Structure 1
Amino acid sequence: MKRVPVLLAAIAAASLVAASARAAGEADDKATQGGWREALNASGSLRGAYWSSTRDLDDEQHIPSASAWLKVAPRFGKAASAHIEGWVRRDGDKSQSQMREAYLDLRQGPVDLRLGQQIIAWGRADELNPTDNLTPRDYTLLVPEASDQRFGTVGARAVWHLGDYALTGAWLPRFRSNIFPIGTTPGVTVTREAPHDAGAALKFERTGRGVEWSVSYYDGLDPNPDLVFAGAGPGGLQLALRNHPIRVLGADVAGVLGRYGLRAEAAYTWTSHDEGPNALVKKPFFYGVAGADRTFDNGTYVNLQYYLRHIAGFSDPNAIADPLQRAIALQSALISNQRDATEHGISLRVSHRWLNDTLEVELLGVISLTRGDNAWRPKLTYALSDSLKLTVGADLFRGGRDTYFGRLRDNSLAYAELKYAF
Structure 2
Amino acid sequence: MPFLFALLFLAQDYSHRGFVETRTALYPQAASNDASHAVGEALLRHESFYQPFEGVEVAGAVDVRMDTHHQTERQWRIDWRDRTLQRPALSLRRFSGQIHRGPLTIEAGKQFVRWGRTDVVNPTDRFAPRDFMTVVDSEFLGIAAMRATYERGANTLDVVWSPWFTPSRIPLPNQRWIVTPPDAPVLPVERSVPRGSQAGVRWSHAGFVEFAAAYYSGFDHLPSFGVDASSAAIRQFYPRTHMAGGDVALPAKWFTVKAEAGYFSFPDDRIDEYVLYVVQLERQSGEWFFIGGYGGEIVTRRSGQSTNFNPERGKTRTVLARAGYTIDVNRSVALEAAVRQNLDGAWIRGEYSQAIGQHWRWTAGLSLIRGEPSDFLGQYRRNSHASIAVRYSF
TM-score range, shorter chain: 0.7 to 0.9
1:176 aligns with 2:166: yes
- Which residue number in structure 2 is paired with residue 285 of structure 1? 274
1:389 aligned counterpart, secondary structure: strand
Distance 1:56 1:376, change over 3 A: farther
Residue matched to 1:269: 264
After superposition, residues 1-400 of structure 1 pair within 5 angstroms as 23=6, 25=8, 28=11, 39-52=13-26, 58-92=34-68, 94=70, 95=72, 96-140=89-133, 146=138, 149-181=139-171, 183-184=173-174, 187-207=186-206, 209-231=207-229, 237-274=232-269, 279=270, 281=271, 283-297=272-286, 299-314=287-302, 329=306, 332=307, 335=310, 344-354=317-327, 356-370=328-342, 372-400=344-372
For 2:313 and 2:47, the matched residues in 1 are separated by: 38
Contact preservation (8 Å) 1:80, 1:106: yes
- 1:62 Cα deviation from its structure 2 partner: 1.4
The answer to whether the 8 A contact 2:224-2:309 is kept is no
Instruction: Using the TM superposition, give the Cα deviation of residue 338 of structure 1 relative to its aligned residue in structure 2, in angstroms.
Output: 6.5
| Structure 1 pair 203–259 and aligned structure 2 pair: CA distance change class (3 A) | same
Percent of aligned pairs sharing the same letter: 21
Q: Secondary structure at the match of 2:127?
A: coil
2:222–2:308 CA contact under 8 A, matched in 1: no
Q: Which has the higher strand share?
A: 2
Shift of 1:78: 0.8
How far apart, CA to CA, are the structure 2 residues paired with 1:100 and 1:55? 32
Residue 314 of structure 1 and its aligned partner are, at CA, apart by 2.8
Report the alpha carbon displacement of residue 399 of structure 1 after superposing the two structures with TM. 1.5
Ranges in structure 2 where 5+ consecutive residues have no aligned partner: 73-88, 175-179
- Larger mean Cα displacement after TM superposition, 181-190 or 127-136: 181-190
More helix by share: 1
Q: Secondary structure at the match of 2:195?
A: coil
| 1:131-159 Cα deviation digits (max 9, x unpaired) | 011131101169x974xx11111110001
What amino acid is the match of 1:219?
S
In structure 1, what is the Cα distance between the partners aligned to 2:353 and 2:190? 37
Which region of structure 1 is more displaced relative to structure 2, 306-315 or 54-63?
Answer: 54-63
What one-letter code is carried by the residue in structure 1 that aligns with 2:94? Answer: E
Structure 1's 411 and 192: CA in aligned 2 closer, same or farther, altered over 3 A?
Answer: farther
Q: What letter corresponds to residue 25 of structure 1 in structure 2?
A: L
On the 8 A contact 1:71/1:86 being kept in 2, the answer is yes
Segments of 4+ moved more than 6 angstroms: 19-22, 54-57, 336-339
Count of residues in correspondence between the two structures? 365
Q: Distance in 1 between matches of 2:373 and 2:278?
A: 25
Query: Is the Cα contact below 8 Å between 2:291 and 2:323 reproduced in 1?
Result: yes
Distance in 2 separating the partners of 1:191 and 1:21: 57
Q: 1:20 Cα deviation (Å)?
A: 11
> What do you get for the CA RMSD once the two structures are aligned?
2.9
Compute the TM-score of the two structures, normalised by the length of structure 1: 0.79
**Paired residue type of 1:384:** I
Which residue in the other structure is 1:406 paired with?
Answer: 378
2:319 and 2:338 in contact (8 A); partners too: yes
Contact 1:388–1:421 (8 Å) recurs in 2? yes
CA shift at 1:363, angstroms? 0.9
Per-residue deviation, 1:225: 1.2
